[in-house]
Amino acid sequence: MIGTLAGIGAVAAGASFVGLHTMVPWSQLYGANFNGEAPPSRRLALTYDDGPNDPHTLHLLDVLARHNVKATFFMVGQFVRQRPQIARAVAEAGHAIGNHTYTHPNLIFVSRSNLRRQLEDTTKAIEDATGQTPKLFRPPFGGRRPGTFAIAREHGMTPVMWRVTCFDWSAKSNETIERHANRQIKGGDVILLHDGGHLAIGADRSHTVKATDNLIAKYKQSGYEFVSVPAMMG
């Protein structure tokens, strides 16, 4: 979840240039990151953070399978350790898996040595559960500072941010999530959604599952194709 981002609009006027860029998802100031492809594009990449999560990650897998869509899941290492069978199911369904740290701290406040440990423990958890080594990294809350992305790259991972924020962590209905998506989608976007909650397994993500179903149907009908982040990165 990226609750801190919700306040960006409100604080933007007063924020310093550098302070704002630590949290704006598409900013390249603290290192290059992938957040989509250049327009014009008819491709979209759905991404899901903070899982694996019982039972909503599995519900989401059903929806994605029904639409024959591959997505990308940024997993929290400690939840992978708690639900390795769900992480394995995501991998076996052919979705991409990224590293979202072990305990989901805001990396603005994490030392380099602790960041390395967060990344390594999560990669090990994902490897043990799925047999795959994650090649993608997304910082919790979008928070980063100079060096954060460089350390991720040292660990063989490309930093991935996003362009479309659906605010699903606080949404009261699937319609609200879809409205945020519809307002921001231009084509070629990486879209941020959540199959879990960063505090614990068990967060209700039923609105996100329903919104996913509706968004895929709507945009496929308009000629869009849904691809994983690695597929979009080529």
Q: Write out the catalytic residue numbers.
A: 49, 194
Q: Which is nearer to Zn ion, 57 or 219 (CB)?
A: 57
Contact between 213 and Zn ion by CB under 5 A: the answer reads no
Q: Which is nearer to Zn ion, 49 or 121 (CB)?
A: 49
**Residues in 7-66 that interact with Zn ion by CB under 5 A:** 49-50
Minimum CB separation of residue 74 from Zn ion in Å reads 7
Contact between 178 and Zn ion by CB under 5 A: the answer reads no
Minimum CB separation of residue 152 from Zn ion in Å reads 15
β-strand partners of 73: 48, 97
- What sign does the dihedral 184-39-233-220 (CA atoms) show? positive
Minimum CB separation of residue 142 from Zn ion in Å reads 9
User: Minimal CB distance to Zn ion: which residue?
Assistant: 49
Tell me the CB-side half-sphere exposure of residue 152, using CA atoms within 13 A: 29
Q: Which is nearer to Zn ion, 211 or 219 (CB)?
A: 211
Q: Which is nearer to Zn ion, 44 or 193 (CB)?
A: 193
What beta strand segments (E) does the chain contain? 43-51, 72-75, 96-99, 136-137, 158-159, 164-165, 190-194, 225-226
CA Rg value for the chain: 16
- Total residues contacting Zn ion by CB under 5 A comes to 4
CA distances from 201 to 80, 92, 160, 191, 228 (A): 10, 21, 23, 22, 24
| CA 42/CA 145 separation, integer angstroms | 32
Eight-class DSSP state of 7: G
Stretch that binds Zn ion, among 38-46, 90-98, 110-118, 194-202 (CB under 5 A): 194-202
Minimum CB separation of residue 19 from Zn ion in Å reads 20
Contact between 140 and Zn ion by CB under 5 A: the answer reads yes
Residues of the shown chain interacting with Zn ion in the complex, contacts defined by CB under 5 A:
49-50, 140, 198
